[in-house]
Structures are given as C-alpha cells and as structure tokens.
C-alpha cells in the first residue's frame, strides 16, 4: 500500500460528533523520527483520526529541561511537523511536563512556561497540553504559603497559561490520573474534586481508567468520574503501551472499551508501542471503533450461548469462527476489526523502506537521580543504547505511569522509581537511513531436499524396538526421528515467499494484548501443557515395556505433530519477516519474533524428546497464575511451562545484532552422530581450539575419553546442536552420576583399556600427548566426593565449536533442553568436572550459572567440581 492509499474504504464518512480520537506519542524510550510522525499523519488522515499529542517522555525539552527554548534548527523542524499535521487535517497538540521541578508560585517559572508555549504557538500550533503525571504530590515551602493544596497550585498555573494563550484547545493531565491513584477513591478524592471544580470548563482532563493499564473501561466508571470532574474525560489509553517490558509487543485489536462509551467521553488517545511500525493494527482498529455506535461483542453474546457457559480458555474477544461473515457497519467487534486491519497492513510489509535503527526501551533502576532524558532536539546519534544509572543496581519494574511505564495492574510500583536515561538524540531531525551494508541479512543457503521428520514412530535408547500392547512398532531410521529447536530443513526451504494473511494473523496472535493471548498463542500454551502432562501415554512401563493403548498413543502423537506444525509456522514467519522490503518494520519486529522463535523451538525440542526417549517423563507445573500477571508475555508464559521453575536465566537471551536466517537444530543424539560429536570434541580439546595436530593418528582418542561413555551408557540424555546438517555442539548428561560411574567401571573402562594398551616405553622416556592420555586411562580411578552428589545427582558435559560460541543463546538453549529432560526425570542438580588449570571451561560454565562446589576437606587433586541446581 502506498502511503496508506487503500485504507480509507474501511471507514465511514460519519464521525461521532466532536469526539477527539487520536494518538499520543507519550512513552519512555527512543521517540519516533520526524519521518515516522509524518507517515503517521498520512495514515491517520486516511483512517479518520483527527488528533496527535506530542509528548515523548525522553524529549530533552519536554520534561527535564522544559524551560529551554528551541533553537533555530529545532524550530524549523517542529514547524514542519506541525504543518504536516495540518496538511493531513490533524490537530497537533504540543505538551509540556513541568511538574518534576516547577515552583508553582514563582512568577519567573510561570514566565518560562508561557514563553515556551508562545514560541511553539508561533510555529503554527493551536492546541496544547500540560501534563502533571508521575510526579510526587508535594509542594515546596514557598508554594505551601500561597496555595491551599497541590491541586489548587496546578489549577492556578493551568488556568493562567490557558487564558494567556487565548483559550486554545487545551488538555490537562492530573497527578491522580487513574482510579488506583485517587486518594482515597475517585468520588471522595479532594484532589480530583478540586480539579473538577476549579479548572476552567473548556480545559479537557485526561484519565487512564481504573488502572494505569486498564483491561476494561466501564460506562459506570466514566459516569462517576464525569460527575467528579464536571466534564467528560479524555482517555489516555495504555492498552497497547509496551515500554514497561522489554519482551512484549502488542499487535492485537483495540478492545475492552465498548462504543457505548463514546457519547460519554470527550475523546480517546492511544499511547501505543514504542516501535512505530508495529502500531498499524492498534491504530487502525481504534479508528474503526471511533466510528461505531454499537457493541458488536455484546450483540453477538446476546444472540448466542450464555457467557456463563463459555469455555474457560476462550479469549474475551471470542473466536473468529463464532462471528458471522458480516456485521452491521455501525457495530464494532475486535475480531472483525482485526481482520480488516490485517488486510490493510499486509501491503505495508512490502513498501520499500529503510531503517532508522531499532527502538530503545528504558531500563529502570531504583532511587536513580534525576538526569536529563533523551534530547530530541539536539545532535544526532546514529544508534542508541540504554544506560543504567547507579552502578550495581539491577533493573526493577517502573513506576506505573500514565504513559504506559509501569507494572501490570496486578503488580504495584513505587513513585520513587525513575527510568534510566538514554543517550542524547534528536527526534526533530530525521536520522540518516541505514545503508544496506549496515544491516546485512546473513542468509544461509537452504538445500533443495531434506530428510523427513517423524513424530509417529520412535526408537528406544539402545536402538531396539519398543513394543506396544498390540503389535511391534516399526523402527524408523535416524533421519525419521530428528528433533529441532528452530525448524527442520524442509520447513526452511518452504518458508521463503510472500507473507500471507495467515502469517500476519499468527504474528498478531503471538503478540496480542497485555491481558489476553491470541487464539494461536493460547493453543501453543494449551497443547504443550497437555503434551507434557500426558507424556506417559507414549512411554513404556519399566516392568512390561508396553505402551498405552494405541488410540491414546495416537492422540498424543497427533497433538505433538500439530505442535510441531505450529512451531514450524513460527520459524517460517521469522524467515519471511527478515526478507521483507520494509526494513524499518523488519528490524522493529525482529527481536520479538526471534525470541518467540527461540522459545517455541525449545518447547518443540522438549516435546519431541518426550516422544523419543526411554523412561518416565514427569510433568511439572509452575502455577495456575493468569498469563498477564508475569512480565514477558506469551514468550515468558511458554517458557514457564518447561520444568525449569528456578533457572529462568537460561531463557534470558539477546537477539543477535545482525539478523540472520540461520536455523539451529537441537535434537536427541542418534547413533549416526557419534563421529560428528567426536569431531567437535577433538576440535575443542586444546583449550577450546582444534587438537587434531596434537593427537595425530588418534582421531577417536579424545572422544573416547571425554564423550564416548555418555554416548554408550546414557544416550537418552544426550543432545546435539546442528546447523545445516552439521553437528556443531553437544550436551551430554547422565541422570544418576553414581550409577553412571558404576557402569563406567564395569562396562566402559575395560573396553577402553583394551582399545588403548599402555604405551611400551621406559619410565625415562618422554610420552607424546596421545600417550600421556592413554597412560592416564590405566591410572584412572573415579573419585567424586559424596558432597557433590548431595545437591547435584546428575553429570553433564557440553561442547560447542568456537565459531558458534559467540552466540550465548545457543549454549543456553542446549543446556535448557538437557536440564528439562533431567528435571522431568526427577533430577534437581547437575555438575561437571573441570581440570584445575582450565580457565576457559571455568568461564564457560560460569556464564551459564554454574558455581564451584565447596568440597571442604575432601579436595581432589587437579579437579574442580562446578554445579547448578534447578
């Protein structure tokens, strides 16, 4: 779609009176660029949205340095922006937030405020706002001598500025901006009653609802509020705001606000995602809502089954299948609005558009000093990062802010929390577009053919057939039992191509709303939960080695195949998004889809291990909390379904700075992988480097020493990391280390000694490296202190080729899958053995949460034990 040219047909020409429908750029973090704002104005005009509120919290001259006038260059840019809004029939509201440090009784301060707004008025601005949100409700001593209360001080300043500017369109944001901040309650709040009584009647007042981020705004609450404020409120809507959570993006439709509210509101401004390009659906569906008068959800509910017997897992917006093909043009239903929005959004993916860099969300710290935020009106920086104020202080949830910065409704915040400040930048000057060479897509060629992956048939750990109650199961080849974290090669080869409606619908469902997962995201949660809890259906009992009845086994396998298909769809979505011409949109979506791809792939890997390996897989649940209670959205909710309640750090990973469509597989070890694993072991044995030249003529020696025992004695807990059919890493584990070493002494070591006889050399002769290793075999004795086993009953060994070790997420995913398998079989801790001089391995394991185990007086010569519990 070129400049939103095909959008308007979804919107009627009838407006809801003087209702203000708009967008507020009011989040913390990197503001939008001038070009993005101008693009927004064009879209808003096509959609029939009439107002824009300029209030970027990290604008240097909006909040912290509100007194400073704009320079000549800044004035030109802001004038251009206001003119662009006017050309598209958009009312441009300019906002200031002086409440952090203003002395309300000071004539000098009032002069600063008037002068600043007068300057913007000369740029052509005809609408203004004063925002007093997210400040302490305290006055200095000078103010206390003049004003009866905090509310009286704010009203006095606002009324005087409003009249000084000639009574333009004007919005006021109170300090008590939602019901949970009204003291003691909305109707009895002295502050709100003073604002309602004393603020001039033509000044509009903003409100976020019952909470900072309100799930549903009811008509009754608006009527009660209007009585207190003595005017209908303007809603500042944070339903799509995402600057409080690094892993969440909200692409779902505008919902939770019935069109019945419109006659009782002065207006509604949405404060959307920090990522400009991700806001098409939220703004498009808001525009549809603003032109409706009938609640389509309510009418459908009345005409269908009672909501009391609705499925527990059905989303509040219902399912698309429940909707008629058409509804009245005056009716609004979120699902129908979403379908229309996706149809109009699809062409946006194929607009040729360069990137201006990725958005930056704020990280938040406690008790940080007030420092200047991003200056959006001075020098350009090509890229931005987020800086933390206060050394050693970990990030914590933000204050619940009218601008979307804060915890979700179920979580409380403190007003002493301040966002850490971002580097200086200028949002009134377009940043240089990134050339293609600055955002390379490191695509990996995909083969034309690939092996077939199967969930239907399984192999036992030793390669023998597993027998069910009726007949022998067919033994499949190694290639038919592959398992992956990201996707298989077949899905890769089919994943390129144009994005479809179904692709974008999946994208929206994965990143839906703060209080609701999309239907396909909910299906992922439910299916994985069911597969994990019912994995016993496909596991033979220890006594009879028989399977559950075939019909139950088939049900599990069918559900697993469905989960696998959904996982592959997520991988395909990721690759297609990387390939779209709209580079700005691609790079904004990239970190979110990459993270979702990673966690869904990890779950898929675990599901396939459940259906592949031998032994009971116990189900673990983390709790029955609602999905929106936790930070992280659907990705975090899926992560919590793994049996790893206490090691969430392994699922904290950062998307690579350079997007790539390389796909890595994590799957169970197969007999055919032995030589490849030995090769990885050899190429990392010399302090992380290739040891081929160190052990000439002995290609299996190091593999036999370090990994062969795991592959022989415990193959069901061995995993490989694979990229393009090449094994590049492994994680090998023994569930019961004591039992493992007993088998090692009885079965493995004799074979090893027979294969490698003691070198026939005199004691005075120097041994070659290979001969030293062989001699060590003949001296070796298992010696693990009992204190190690107390909290770490399992043993692990991890290896990865140096060229892949730079991506820490690969090791974390490999370890997560292995620990999930161990935890599901009753383990609660794992350890590894490290030579005392091997600093590289110490650093390697330390980075994934392993700590040195204190042995007390039971020290072992030249060996350290590192472990972690889960």
Residues identified as active-site: 134
The dihedral of CA 562, 566, 568, 569: what is its sign? positive
Tell how far CA 421 is from the center of its chain.
21
Q: Give the residue ranges of DSSP H helices in 247-362.
A: 280-290, 296-303, 334-345
Three-point CA angle 302, 304, 307, nearest 5°: 75
CA dist 631 and 625 (Å) reads 12
Q: How many CA atoms lie within 13 A of 10 on its CB side?
A: 30
CA dist 850 and 844 (Å) reads 9
CA dist 651 and 642 (Å) reads 11
Measured CA to CA in angstroms, residue 327 lies from 189, 293, 315 at distances of 42, 13, 20
CA dist 652 and 395 (Å) reads 14
Helix (H) or strand (E) segment spanning residue 608: helix 583-612
The dihedral of CA 250, 251, 257, 263: what is its sign? positive
3-class DSSP string for 462-522: CCCCCECCCCECCCCCHHHHCCCCCCCHHHHHHHCCCCCHHHHHHHHHHCCECCECCHHHH
CA dist 393 and 386 (Å) reads 14
Helix (H) or strand (E) segment spanning residue 226: helix 219-229
Paired residues of 720 in beta bridges: 667, 730
Q: Give the residue ranges of DSSP H helices in 613-652.
A: 633-640
CA dist 515 and 505 (Å) reads 18
* Axis-axis angle for helices 334-345, 280-290 (nearest 10): 130
CA dist 645 and 639 (Å) reads 9
* Beta pairing class for 829-835 and 851-852: unpaired
Helix (H) or strand (E) segment spanning residue 778: helix 769-779
Cβ-based neighbour number of residue 480 at 10 Å = 17
Q: Which of 639-643's residues contact partners 24+ apart within 8 Å by CB, and which partners?
A: 639/599, 639/602, 641/525, 641/528, 641/529, 641/532, 641/603, 642/602, 642/603, 642/606, 642/816, 642/820, 643/532, 643/618, 643/619, 643/820, 643/823, 643/824
Cβ–Cβ < 8 Å for 362, 396: no
Length in residues, the chain: 870
């Amino acid at each position: 779609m070129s400049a939103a040219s095909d959008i308007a047909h979804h919107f009627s020409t009838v407006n809801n009176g003087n209702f203000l429908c708009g967008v507020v750029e009011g989040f913390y973090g990197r503001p939008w660029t001038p070009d993005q704002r101008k693009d927004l104005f064009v879209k808003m005009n096509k959609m029939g949205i009439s107002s824009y509120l300029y209030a970027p919290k990290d604008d240097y001259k909006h909040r912290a340095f509100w007194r400073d006038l704009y320079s000549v260059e800044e004035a030109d840019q802001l004038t251009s922006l206001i003119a662009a809004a006017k050309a598209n029939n958009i009312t441009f509201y300019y906002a200031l937030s002086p409440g952090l440090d203003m002395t309300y009784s000071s004539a000098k301060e009032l002069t600063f405020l008037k002068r600043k707004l007068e300057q913007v008025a000369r740029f052509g601005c005809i609408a203004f706002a004063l925002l007093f949100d997210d400040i302490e409700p305290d006055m200095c001593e000078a103010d206390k001598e003049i004003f009866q209360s905090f509310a009286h001080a704010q009203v006095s300043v606002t009324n005087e500025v409003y009249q000084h500017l000639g009574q333009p369109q004007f919005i006021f944001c109170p300090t008590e901006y939602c019901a949970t901040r009204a003291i003691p309650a909305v109707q009895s709040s002295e502050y709100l009653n003073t604002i309602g009584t004393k603020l001039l009647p033509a000044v509009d007042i903003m409100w976020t609802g019952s909470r900072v981020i309100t799930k549903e705004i009811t008509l009754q609450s608006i009527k009660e509020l209007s009585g207190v404020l003595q005017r209908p409120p303007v809603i500042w809507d944070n339903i799509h705001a995402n600057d409080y959570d690094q892993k969440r993006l909200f692409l779902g439709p505008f919902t939770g606000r019935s069109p019945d509210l419109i006659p009782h509101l002065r207006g509604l401004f949405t404060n959307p995602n920090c990522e400009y390009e991700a806001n098409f659906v939220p703004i498009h569906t808001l525009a549809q809502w603003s032109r409706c008068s009938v609640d389509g959800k309510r009418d459908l509910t009345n005409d269908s089954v009672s909501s009391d017997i609705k499925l527990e897992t059905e989303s509040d917006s219902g399912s698309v299948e429940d909707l008629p093909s058409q509804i009245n043009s005056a009716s609004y239903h979120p699902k129908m609005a979403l379908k229309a929005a996706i149809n109009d959004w699809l062409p946006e993916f194929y607009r040729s558009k360069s990137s201006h860099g990725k958005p930056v969300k704020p990280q938040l710290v406690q008790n940080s000093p007030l420092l200047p935020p991003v200056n959006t009106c001075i020098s350009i920086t090509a890229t931005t990062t987020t800086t933390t104020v206060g050394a050693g202080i970990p990030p914590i949830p933000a204050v619940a802010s009218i601008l979307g910065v804060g915890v979700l409704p179920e979580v409380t915040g403190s007003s002493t929390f301040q966002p850490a400040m971002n580097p200086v930048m200028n949002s009134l000057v377009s940043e240089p577009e990134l050339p293609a060479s600055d955002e390379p897509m490191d695509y990996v060629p995909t083969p034309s053919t690939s092996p077939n992956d199967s969930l239907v048939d399984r192999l036992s750990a030793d390669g023998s057939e597993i027998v069910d109650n009726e007949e022998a199961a067919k033994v499949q080849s190694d290639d038919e039992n592959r398992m992956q974290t990201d996707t298989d090669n077949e899905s890769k080869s089919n994943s390129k191509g144009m994005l479809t409606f179904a692709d974008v619908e999946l994208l929206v469902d994965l990143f839906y709303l703060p209080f609701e997962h999309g239907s396909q995201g909910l299906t992922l949660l439910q299916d994985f939960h069911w597969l994990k809890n019912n994995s016993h259906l496909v596991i033979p009992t220890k006594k009879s080695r028989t399977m559950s009845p075939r019909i139950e086994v088939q049900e599990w396998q069918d559900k697993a195949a469905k989960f696998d298909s959904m996982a592959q769809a997520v991988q395909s979505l990721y690759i297609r998004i990387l390939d779209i011409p709209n580079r700005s949109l691609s790079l904004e979506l990239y970190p979110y889809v990459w993270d979702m791809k990673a966690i869904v792939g990890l779950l898929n890997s675990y599901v396939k291990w459940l259906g592949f390996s031998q032994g009971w897989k116990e189900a673990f649940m983390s709790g029955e909390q609602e999905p929106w209670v936790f930070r992280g959205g659907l990705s975090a909710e899926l992560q919590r379904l793994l049996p790893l309640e206490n090691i969430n750090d392994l699922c904290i990973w950062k998307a690579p700075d350079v997007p790539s469509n390389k796909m890595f597989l994590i799957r169970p070890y197969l007999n055919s992988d032995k030589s490849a694993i030995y090769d990885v072991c050899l190429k990392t044995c010399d302090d992380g480097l290739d040891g081929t030249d160190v052990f000439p003529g002995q290609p299996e020696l190091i593999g036999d020493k370090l990994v062969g025992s795991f592959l022989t004695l415990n193959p069901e807990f061995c995993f490989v990391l694979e990229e393009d059919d090449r094994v590049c890493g492994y994680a090998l584990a023994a569930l019961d280390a004591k039992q493992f070493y007993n088998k090692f002494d009885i079965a493995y070591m004799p074979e090893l000694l027979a294969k490698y006889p003691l070198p026939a050399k005199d004691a005075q002769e120097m041994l070659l490296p290979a001969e030293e290793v062989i001699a060590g075999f003949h001296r070796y004795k298992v010696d693990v202190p009992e204190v190690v086993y107390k909290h770490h009953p399992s043993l692990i060994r991890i290896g990865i080729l140096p060229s892949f070790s730079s991506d820490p997420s690969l090791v974390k995913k490999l370890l997560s899958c292995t620990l999930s398998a161990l935890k599901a079989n009753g383990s609660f801790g794992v350890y590894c053995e490290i030579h005392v001089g091997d600093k590289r391995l110490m650093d390697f394991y330390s980075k994934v949460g392993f700590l040195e185990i204190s042995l007390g007086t039971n020290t072992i010569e030249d060996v350290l034990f590192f472990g972690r519990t889960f």
